[in-house]
Amino acid sequence: MKFIKNSLLIIISLIFIELFSQLIFLFYGEQNKYSIFLKPFANQISEKITEYQIHWDYSTNKMKPGYYTTDKGINYKINSKNLFSIIFISICLFAVLKYHIRFNENRKFHDLNYVDFNLSSEAKKIDKKLSGLKWITPEYKNNPQTEINLLNEIKLYLESDNRTKMVMTNYSFFSSILSEKLFSPTRWHIPDGTDYPLSGNKYFDSYKNLLIRLIEKNNIKVIYTIYPVKNSVIFTYLNKSCFKETKISSILSSYEIKNCYEINS
């Protein structure tokens, strides 16, 4: 697969070089002298081109845009707008190729900008449902296996807990690999207020009521958070006295719901 990608890159690069060479002889009138792909056919092409009555502007050393007629009475149009089209299309193709390789192939975006993908591990080590994927994250970019081990510990712990639970995590695949609904009020947990309203936001009370309704309606017994999600995603909205907090592992914490007025009112 990598060989095919590299071959396509070489071919596309050669096409760009050929387009550039054609632009050169369009400006300077030296047909096929700079051509790469057309060189084997230079004699035939040159012979055919010499039949054209080309009007040349010696003051600018360029071909005059307009209509030209061969000795056989066939009209050919050479328009300077075509040159703009060629340049525009070439720029677009170059931009698409560049950003495809940069962002789709090399994942050159913010979080993974300095991650070495050669260190990634097989994602199926977490669960077979992730087969065919590679695993590496910015938090464990030098040792993804450490993160995989931690996630497997969490997976086993959650599987052993038969209570109805809510899991707040940025590892959004847990619901899938556990085959269990985990009732998170939001898909992502970014502490800057991007994904849920913070104190002072006009929607703060609406989100708080949503959280309480989820707990009451689904009879949630315990809430889990997985680092980097912190307890502020709970305690910003609900009083600490409503929970019994337990540190289970270096990245997993539980908050067992107690009988309190704020939730059970």
In a domain, 136, yes or no: no
For the stretch 218-257, pLDDT in tens is: 999 999 999 999 999 999 999 999 999 999 999 999 999 9
Per the structure, the complete domain to which residue 54 belongs is given by 2-105
Amino acid at 103: F
CB-based contacts of 173, cutoff 8 Å, min separation 6: 126, 127, 129, 130
Q: CA gyration radius for the chain?
A: 32
Please report, rounded to a whole number, the percentage of residues in the chain having pLDDT higher than 70: 65
Residue 249 lies in a domain: yes
pLDDT tens digits along 7-20: 666 666 666 666 66
| 114 occurs within a structural domain | no
| Cα→Cα distances 155→44, 54, 227, 252, Å | 71, 77, 14, 11
User: At 75, which helix (H) or strand (E)?
Assistant: strand 75-78
Is residue 239 a part of any domain in this protein?
yes
Q: What is the DSSP string of 114-160?
A: T--GGG-EEGGGT-GGGTT-EE--GGGTT-HHHHHHHHHHHHHHHHH
Compare 24 and 102 and report the one with higher pLDDT: 102
- Could you give the count of Cα atoms lying within 13 Å of 80 in the half-sphere of its Cβ? 5
Domain contains 242: yes
Are 99 and 165 contained in the same domain? Answer: no
Q: Do 34 and 99 belong to one domain?
A: yes
CA–CA separation, 157 and 35 (whole Å): 67
Q: Is the pTM of this model over 0.85?
A: no
For the cut 90, the answer to whether the pLDDT of residue 104 exceeds it is: no
Q: How many domains does the chain have?
A: 2
251 inside domain: yes
Determine phi and psi for 130, rounding to 5 degrees. -100, 15
